Structure formats: structure tokens, C-alpha cells
Structure 1
Amino acid sequence: MDGFKRKWVVAIDLGGTTTKLAFFNHSGKMIKKWKISTDKRNAGQYILDNIVTSIDKQLQQLKVDKEILTGIGMGAPGPVHLEQGLLYNAINLGWEKNYPLKKLLEKKMNLPVAVENDANCAALGEFWKGIGQHSKDLIFVTLGTGVGGGIISNGKLVRGVHGAGGEIGHITVIPKNGYRCNCGKIGCLETVASAKGIQRITKQLLASKKEKSMLSDKYFTVKDVFNAAKQCDPTASEVVDTFSFYLGLTLANIGNIFNPEIIILGGGIAKAGDFLVKKVQPYFENYAFPTVRDSTVISLTDLGNDAGVFGACRLILNQMMKSKKM
């Protein structure tokens, strides 16, 4: 394989439950991908060591020397100081505030490291190799355990002064009597458009309604909710409509600011496919400025769960090119 003859980088998509990793060559060709569980015990002290051990193990299995690696790119859940690689606040990992992620990983791996917010990495991945690669203006929204977002305007990531640009999941959509979010605010989009939010709304509706539902069991997944809605289950349909209203309203408001060519939906909830897009689209069109409505396409991710590692690869390649080490 030609990829084995070139230098590689490591791309990491660090999640609260699972960490996805991949080797890429300098042309952006994926050589190998795999995943490990994210061990958050004892304030997340094992996370980086597990990543290092996993990388070493994969190199041994591929019978490749560690010298082939030239850098590491990582997407992490939370606002990031790009130059210093500080993770300001990683609630889902248990790490302290201003966690020196870049410095610690560089020390453990003896390689240059670039760190970025995970949703920003996913947006960068779609912009580079996915469905957004021909668009200079795009919005990427991850719909999973939480709700994340990445915005690319005129070909550049919107980061903000402290790396918190594009935090779509924390836009307030219910200003009064909303649910409390993990971030500490009330009524964030994440409280109604994430997997946890959908399950909470479903349970409340099931408890308040007398009619039978396909979701009457105590345990159900978000996939179950969408499948039931596809079969016109009244409770599930109401849940999906509520979810679609808040998401469509939010996308319209963001669209009115950035006028993107494409809005890309990713994450586990996006596996609902075209059914999801068809539910969100009418609300987006209803609240979007006419020019935005007519010029913006809502689409599903092209790279799926690999968007994050593709973005992390692009991130470290960009850093290496700037430092002229490639």
C-alpha cells in the first residue's frame, strides 16, 4: 500500500463515551481507523494514557515503527484555546478547567499536537473531504448525547475570542420554564434536541397521555422514537415535531446571520436520515429570511462518524504546514 511508504499523522475524535482514532498519510488518505472506550474514572486521569497505549498497539499490529508519525490532531468536547491547546471546560470528561491537553499529549507522545473543539473538527472534516468541500460557507450540527456546532464562514472556522464560537447547542430556545443544561443555563437547544432531551420529552408525554403508544415500555432509544414516528405513533410524532421545531427555528436564526450555502446534520440522531430533514425543513423555511431560505440546503453528513477524525487530520496538517515541518 502506498500509504505505508509515507509519513502519517494521528487523528483523534475524543468523546465522552467513545474515542475514535485514525492514521492518515499527509495526502489525507485514511490508513486505519479504530475506537476505544473513554475511561472517565478518577476525573479522567486514564484517558490520555489509554489513547497513547492504543496508538502504540495499533502500530505494533501494523508492524510499523513509531517514527512514521509526525503529528497528532485532536477534537475535544469543549471550547479550546487553539494556540495553547487548553480545554477550557470539559464537563463530560471530568477534567479540571483549563486542562492543558496539548502540552500533556505532546509530552506523552513526543510529537506536535493540535487541539480543536470536536464539532469544529467535524465541520472542518466535512469542509475538507465531505459534502461541504465545495462550499466556503457552511454550518455543521452534531446531534447526539449533546448538541454541538461548527461554522465555517468564507472558508474559515468561526472560533471567537475564547474558542466558543459555534456553540449552537447552547443557544437559548426556551427562555422561561426550560430544562437546565449541563452548561448551567436554562433552556438551551441541547436540552430539547439531544438524545437525552428527546428521551426526557418522550417520558413526560408518555406519563401525561392516556392513549396507547408503541413507546409504552420503560426503556426506549431515540431510534425507537423516530421509528415510531415514521409509523405515525401519536406520542412519537409529537416528540419529533417538538424536536424539529426547536432545531428548525435555531438553524433559521443562525442561517439569518451567516447565510450558509449548506447546513449539515450529523451525529447519532442524524441516522434518522431523510425523515429527519423533511421534518426540520418546514420550520427552517418558516423562520428563515427569504434569501437565506432560498439559498441554503439542509443535508445529512457525508462522512458520518468519521467527520471528526478527518477534521482532526486537517487540523494537524494545517499546523505543520504553518510551522514548515512537513
Structure 2
Amino acid sequence: MKHAGAIAGDQALLKKLNRMALLRTIRETPGLSRADLAKKLDLAKPTVSQLIQELAEEGWILLGSQEASRVGRPSLPIHFNHDGLALVGVELTPHQLNLVVTNPRGEVLKAEQERHAGGDPTSVLSQTAALMVRALEHCQTEKRQVVGVGLGLPGPVDPRSGVLLYAPNLDWSSVPVQSFLESALKQAGQDVLLYINNEAKTAAMSEYMFGNLTDVEDLIYLSLGEGLGSGFVLKRDILHGRSGYAGEIGHTILQPDQGRRCTCGKTGCAETLISVRALSQSLFGHGQGTLNEITEALQVQNPETFSAVHSFSRYLGILISNLLTTFNPSRVVLGGPLMGLSEHFWDSMLNEVRTRTHPGIYTDQVIVKCRFEEHASAIGAAGSALQMALNVRSQV
């Protein structure tokens, strides 16, 4: 016989599961009635009615005007409260914080950027927490209930502990980001759900949650920026790997013998060939050039710029061909700051992929540009917080 505490725990978990199932269904299929939801989820009508009442009182959902049903009492169409809820997403890059406030549709309500000095993790994370607090206070002023806050980081993250395992472009390792930020937010009076992951993984979620690929079950996102990252969505969920390192595509080897030395300490990493730093090295002979300087340099057509773009396009095409051949995904999505220069490399990259990939795997539709451009990681972090709020697996 079960102990009374265990039974109570089971009942609480069952209620949470039912609440989340209702919220997911209402968000995905707006306008259903209580009876529709009970039938769709195979739940008792009294259970659905009680939970709907609670969710409406908490501000999660809206009850529409009455609609006459064929028999019985009029039904009330139920909708997710997109205008009363908000999500906060932040991307921490090696030099900058990018913040967005969105509604549950992923529409940006507020965007803000702020430089940071790098170096000591405590200083940068304190600045991150302060930025989050200002956004949360803004939502309170706007009378929007915050579902959660998401953060994308420039390195692999342990999904269980929220520890940033390492970030070579910041020279950080084993940083307890989750616990630090949760403590800082609580000290500021903000007790809110917090989701943390790698920036490329959160960017991948932007397309799955809010982009043009919401009906796609699997995709690979490539983040082309100061480094090179990726996020894998498989069966509608992010692939973390055994210890959080899945998707570190920038540190796979493309030039094993004569490659450049990477910030991770190895030579020949993909990131040394496909990144802002790689283009800077090819154009200027050093890896310190900025994106603006690279953009300006590429306006001049000469052998140096042609060689730099050719190398970048070639190795990006090889990498994508390898990914297509290995995983055969529905889509490969390219995003990140370097996509602002895609006019210089897109066609030659596609030709490289087409040449190297089996025709049964490659189609012209499989490689696409990210819809959200520079906000992708922050929007995806916000969407990941929403998914976490609606998914009991991440909370038990």
C-alpha cells in the first residue's frame, strides 16, 4: 500500500501534468471548448472545468464569448492569453548582451543590447542579472505576467545543473550560471522560472517554436558568428548529449594536418575556418577584425577577398554536406551575425553542398536562412522558457 505522502505527491504530479497538457493544447489549437478539450485529452469534464477555471484566474488563458452548441449549454472558446503574458530572452555573446521581451507567439515587444567587458564571470553575470531585472520590471509596468526567462550562452551547458562547462571565447570554465542568476534574481525580488542553454541550441528553438518550421520534427541550426556553434532539434526536442556537449560542431576537425590553432587548444577546428575570426585571419592576417571591418573589406573585389570568401564557402559547404549525410535532417538553418554577409557566400556554399552530397539527401529546400536574424538566440531562449513551463519533464 502506498504511503499517504506518496499518494498526495502522485496527485499533485498528475494535476501538473493535466494543467500542462491543457495549456499546450490550448496554445496549439485555440478556440476549443471545455468539452472539446476533455475529449481530445481523454480527461473527465469536471477535471477540465476545474483546471480551466484556475488557469483563467491565473491569467494563462482567456475565455471567449459564448457559442451556441447543438445540444446542452453554450460553449466558451478558450484561447491562450498571448497579450497578457510575456517571455524574456537573453543571449550572452563574448562582448555583448542581447535581450528581447516577447509574447508567447515570439513577437518582439522590446529589444535591448548592452556591451560587457568580459573577464570575471561574476561581473558579467551581475550585469546580466541587472538587465533581466529591468526587463521583468518593464513587464510588470506593462501589466504582463512573465512566464519565464531564458539565457543562451557561448559554450556547452550541463542541462541538469545549469553550469557553463566552458566558453573558450570568454576564457571561462565550470561557471555555475544557473545558481548565480537564480540567487541574484531572488535577491531583487524576482522569483521566476529560469532556463539556460547554449546559444546555438536556443537559436534552434527559435525556428521550431516561432519560425517557419514549427511543423518540422528535426532540424540542425548553425550559428555563424565569432565562433561556430550548432543546435540539433530531434523529435521536437533539443539534443543535449550525455553531458551537454552535443552540437559543439565548431570544434570538429576539418583540417587535421595544417590547420590553424583554435581557442580550444586544438588545430584544424571548423571554427578556425568558418567564423568571424576565420574571415579576419584570411583578410587581415590576424583574428581580431570586427564584423564591420570584414563587411567593409568585402566591398572591394580583389584576389585576397575572393580567396577569403572562397575558403569560407568551401569549408561551410563541406561541413553542411557532412551533417546532411550523417543526420539527413528535414532542414539545416543558418543564422548568426555572419548571415548579414550571405550575399558573398550563399550561392557558392550551396554549390559546394550540392556537389558533395548524394542527390537523395540534398534538395534546394533543405538549407534555409534563419527568420529571426540577430535576435534568434534571445528569442529562442524566451521560447525555451515557455516550453519548459509547459513541459513537466523539465521540472521533476
Q: TM-score, normalised to structure 1's length?
A: 0.85
Aligned residues: 306
Aligned runs of 1:1-326 on 2, under 5 Å?
Answer: 6-41=84-119, 43-58=120-135, 64=141, 68-95=145-172, 97-110=173-186, 111-204=192-285, 221-228=293-300, 231=301, 233-294=302-363, 297-323=366-392
Distance change in 2, residues 1:57/1:116 (3 Å): closer
Single out whichever of 147-156 and 277-286 deviates more from structure 2. Answer: 147-156
CA distance in 1, matches of 2:83, 2:285: 57
- Inter-partner Cα distance in structure 2 for 1:62 and 1:315: 18
Q: CA deviation at 1:68?
A: 3.8
Letter aligned with residue 11 of structure 1: G
Deviation digits for residues 167-204 of structure 1, max 9, x if unmatched?
A: 12112110001111111111011101111111112235
AA matched with 1:181: C
Amino acid at match of 2:94: G
Structure 1's 27 and 198: CA in aligned 2 closer, same or farther, altered over 3 A? Answer: closer
| Matches of 2:292 and 2:106, distance apart in 1 | 39
Residue 238 and residue 92 in structure 1: after superposition, are their counterparts in 2 closer, same or farther (change >3 A)? closer
**Farther-moved stretch of structure 1 (314-323 vs 20-29):** 20-29
Describe the shift of the 1:299–1:7 C-alpha distance in structure 2 as closer, same or farther (beyond 3 A): closer
Q: Residue type of the partner of 2:222?
A: V
Superposed displacement of residue 114, structure 1:
1.1
Residues in 2 aligned to 1:64 and 1:160: alpha-carbon distance in whole angstroms: 40
Map Cα deviations across residues 11-52 of structure 1 (whole Å, 9 max, x no partner).
1111111111122334544321211112314x2321122122
Deviations 1:116-150 (A, max 9, x none): 11000001112222243332222211111111111
Aligned position for 2:189 = none
Percent of residue pairs bearing the same amino acid type: 26
In structure 2, the CA distance between the partners of 1:314 and 1:56, relative to structure 1 (3 Å rule), is closer
Change (3 A) 1:287 1:28: same
Distance 1:27 1:223 in 2: 33
Instruction: Please identify, of 132-141 and 168-177, the stretch whose mean Cα deviation from structure 2 is larger.
Output: 132-141
Alignment gaps of 5+ in structure 1: 206-218
Query: Which secondary structure does the structure 1 equivalent of 2:243 belong to?
Result: coil
Q: Structure 1 residues 136, 227: closer, same or farther in 2, change over 3 A?
A: farther
Structure 2 residue ranges without an equivalent (≥5): 1-61, 63-80, 187-191
TM-score (norm 2): 0.70
CA RMSD, aligned part only? 2.7
Instruction: Report the CA distance shift for 1:69/1:240 in structure 2 as closer, same or farther (over 3 A).
Output: same
**Contact kept in structure 2, 1:144 and 1:194, CA below 8 Å:** yes
Name the larger-Rg structure: 2
What are the superposed Cα offsets for residues 223-251 of structure 1, whole Å, 9 maximum, x if unpaired? 134333xx4x2221111111111110011
Query: Contact 2:219 / 2:331 at 8 angstroms: preserved in 1?
Result: yes
Distance 1:164 1:90 in 2: 12
Change (3 A) 1:170 1:98: same
Residue of structure 1 in register with 2:70 after alignment: none
